[in-house]
A and B are shown apart, each in its own frame.
Chain A
Amino acid sequence: GQMEGMVHSSFRRLSGREKKEMQKEILSILGLPGRPRPHPPLRPPSSAPLFMLDLYHAVSAEGDEGLSVGFIPESVSHAALPTLSTHTPPLGTVVSEADTVMSFVNLVEHERDLLQPRPYWKEFRFDLTPLPQGETVTAAEFRIYKSLTVGQKANRTLHISVYEIQREKRHREPELVLLDMQSVPAGQEGWLAFDVTSASNHWLLQPRSNLGIRLYVEMEDDRSLSAGWVGLVGRRGPRSKQPFMVTFFRASQAPCRPPR
């Protein structure tokens, strides 16, 4: 108690300049850019914060317990683990080894007009330009939520494929490259995760080539379906179920602290 009293008596209020310097120091140590200044108009909210919060808790638990996590713990199943996914990459190792994880808000959502001839498709686009310096992409996922829709036959299988749009042509179909495909039961709901690592690497090397990704849904008999009909949630869906992209980065070399 005596010690505490002595400590209190020596405490002084920091000046405005000292406060700023102290805050600058903390930002510098943690590698934070400072308070964000959102570009108006504000982008629509997405479900990414929930996913990232789950990921943060998983990573923190790993650090606290000193465990080597080879899989994503059960605690992150809410958003991080796709309940429908049939062949997602083993993200546990990717998460453990990542130095930075970034979620990207979906900026553009184009859809084939239902009055136009099939096949139906939906396009998404993400701005990957604010990237961490000196880090390389180890994995990237496009995550979209599939909800239940009325009238769907639960025993039917849906084939959902995601393509990178490589080149757009006037009045013609663009060049597409298949990134990932999944077959899921029509009667289930949950997160779907598609591996888009190769596209993100391509976009990082050539940012101008980022034309987004295109999603197709087909039945077993190759009949094309609209993403909305099968319950794939888009930008108009609830906040906690918005599609987003998550990218995992690893530092190329040990970061060097600037002299202070």
Chain B
Amino acid sequence: ALRHNTQRRKKHKNDLPHPNRPGLFDQTPVSNGRHACKKHELYVSFSDLGWKDWVLAPPGYSAYYCDGECDYPLGSCMNATNHALIQLVVHLIKPDEVPKACCAPTKLSPISVLFYDDNNNVILKKHRNMVVKTCGC
């Protein structure tokens, strides 16, 4: 079912959290008076979180996140590409009701985290297809 979230419709650009800057696609046209999803960049700093003593590397990582009306948000086992595809298909069928998805990643990059566990062992965890580097909005 489609969600019609009236609260999010009132969002303005200045709702962006500091220090994350607006994304490249912030000028996405409004569909039927609703804000289509927009891409923003967020930097997660392990130092700011106070995790520097057990997360050896990296110091932090940046990632994109969407802000806007996503009618088919990410759920269990659904990745961003599938989510965007579904929303795009529904947008083509009902262009006035469902905004065009703008968060289809075209290139996903891996991220690795190096950290200590309870036994002083060191673990390198690699996440494939984790960070969206290029957006195909």
Stretch of A48-56, A108-116, A170-178, A214-222 at the chain-chain interface: A48-56
Checking B16, B17, B57 against A56 with a beta-carbon cut-off of 8 angstroms, the contacting residue is B57
A30 to B60, CA, bound (A): 12
A104 in contact (CB, < 8 A): yes
Is the Cβ of A63 less than 8 Å from the Cβ of B77?
no
A31-B127, A53-B114, A63-B110 known; A26-B120 Cβ under 8 A: no
Which A residues from 21 to 72 make CB contacts under 8 A with B? Answer: 23, 26, 30-33, 35-39, 42-43, 45-46, 48-49, 52-53, 55-57, 59-60, 63-64
Please give the distance in Å from B116's CB to the nearest CB on chain A: 5
With an 8 A cutoff between CB atoms, is B18 at the interface?
Answer: yes
Among A2-10, A136-144, A161-169, A189-197, which stretch is in contact with chain B? A2-10
Binds A, one of B1-9, B48-56, B92-100: B48-56
Chain B, 1-60, CB within 8 A of any chain A CB: 13-22, 44, 49, 51, 54-58
Q: Are B116 and A36 in contact (CB under 8 A)?
A: yes
Cα A54 to Cα B21 in complex, Å, equals 33
Q: Is the CB of A100 within 8 A of B125?
A: yes
Contacts of B123 in A (CB 8 A): 100-103, 132
Number of A-B contacts (CB under 8 A): 123
Tell yes or no: A259 within 8 A of B by CB. Answer: yes
Q: Is the CB of B14 within 8 A of A9?
A: yes
Cβ A48 vs Cβ B122 within 8 A: yes
What are the residues of chain B within 8 A of A258 when measuring CB–CB?
Answer: 76
Q: How far is the CA of A42 from the CA of B17 in the complex (A)?
A: 41
Chain A: interface secondary structure? mixed
Chain B interface size, as a band, is 35 or more
- Cβ–Cβ contact B16 & A60, under 8 A: no
B113 contacts A100, C-beta separation under 8 Å:
no
Q: Are A102 and B112 in contact (CB under 8 A)?
A: no
Q: Complex Cα distance A110/B75, Å?
A: 52
Complex CA–CA separation, A99 to B74 (angstroms):
23
CA distance A236 to B116 in the complex (A): 22
* B89 within 8 A of partner (CB): no
Whether, in the assembled complex, A150 has its beta carbon less than 8 Å from a beta carbon of chain B, the answer is: no
Please report which residues of chain B, range 65-85, place their CB below 8 angstroms from some CB of chain A when the two chains form the complex. 74-77
> Cβ of A208 < 8 Å from any Cβ of B?
no
Closest to B15 in A: A10
Chain A contacts of B121 at CB under 8 A?
A: 48, 102-105, 130
**Residue pair A56, B114 in contact (C-beta under 8 Å):** yes
0/1 interface trace, chain B 94-137, chain A, CB 8 Å (1 if under): 00000000000000011111111111111111111000000000
Q: Name 11 A/B residue pairs within 8 A (Cβ), A-sorted.
A: A3-B22, A7-B19, A9-B14, A39-B118, A53-B56, A60-B112, A100-B124, A102-B122, A104-B121, A130-B117, A132-B123
Closest 6 CB pairs of A and B: A11-B18, A6-B14, A259-B76, A101-B124, A52-B122, A63-B110
Write the residues of chain A forming the contact surface with B, with a CB cutoff of 8 angstroms.
3-4, 6-11, 23, 26, 30-33, 35-39, 42-43, 45-46, 48-49, 52-53, 55-57, 59-60, 63-64, 98-105, 127, 130, 132, 256-259
Given A7-B16, A49-B122, A60-B112, 7 other A-B residues pairs in contact with their CB atoms under 8 A: A4-B21, A30-B127, A32-B115, A45-B120, A53-B57, A99-B125, A132-B123
